[in-house]
Amino acid sequence: MPRNPVNQLRNVIQDAVRSPADKLVNIFYNPLSGFSGDLLHNFGNNPANQFTADDLLAVSTFGIQFSPITIQRLVASSEADYLLELLPRPSVPLWKGALPLPGTPYGEIWELLLSLDGIGITSASKLLARKRPALTPMLDSVVVKHLRLAKNGYNLTKAELVPALESLAAAIADDELRANIDLLQPTPAHHNATPIPTLRLLDTAIWMQQSGSRLAKNARAKVGLIRHSLAHS
């Protein structure tokens, strides 16, 4: 009998949030650790239905750069803001929210962001994770690879976006699995009083265990975890 792909994904996620994931997440959100921590959600002005210069600065802490024309279209134009207003409210989670299907506001804002100069799936996901943190996971190469969401390994294509989010939504619709992810909440002194969203905790745990960055490797060594990294981002 073929294996259920949703159950397989759940097993991968469950493994990713086992100890020492909690220790690594705590290090990531410690403002003295050198990581970006909760800047994505709590830096500067972050209105739910408007892109601002602070959004670009917050996302840039993850190594994303924006071209002048993209900055103009995101910050000086209201075309993306109109679509943000049509999205589910920020508290609506992926497993109860919308998929970026063609013709829907969520699908259209993905299309708009991906049409901008220099913006790919990773950059767009980080912008939307800033605005809708419960709905949009950060789809960088490390997370995509570990969750096996892309056929080529590291990078999702536009055609793979909806199936990937659909699979992830089905996997974390499981109450027990989400509860285990939420146990990774870092020490309150290490972040803003607002709890870190479930999707963000998951991608942090995966990235800290699998990234090839020097800081991540040092953190793994600190907690006694030796693991081959899957990517260098």
3-state secondary structure string, the chain?
A: CCCCHHHHHHHHHHHHCCCCHHHHHHHHCCCCCCCCCCHHHHCCCCCCCCCCHHHHHHHHCCCCCCCHHHHHHHHHCCHHHHHHHHCCCCCCCHHHCCCCCCCCHHHHHHHHHHCCCCCCHHHHHHHHHHHCCCCCCCCCHHHHHHHCCCCCCCCCCHHHHHHHHHHHHHHCCCHHHHHHHHCCCCCHHHCCCCCCCHHHHHHHHHHHHHECCHHHHHHHHHCCCCCCCCECC
Candidates 155, 160, 130, 128; CA nearest to 143 is 155
Report the percent of the chain where pLDDT is more than 70: 94
Q: What is the pTM of this model?
A: 0.92
Q: Report the pLDDT value the prediction gives residue 76, as an integer from 0 to 100.
A: 86
pLDDT digits (tens, 9 = 90+) for 97-126: 999 999 999 999 999 999 999 999 999 999
Residue 48 has pLDDT above 90, yes or no: yes
pLDDT digits (tens, 9 = 90+) for 50-59: 999 999 999 9
pLDDT digits (tens, 9 = 90+) for 121-163: 999 999 999 999 999 999 999 999 999 999 988 889 999 999 9
Q: Where in the chain are the domains?
A: 5-222
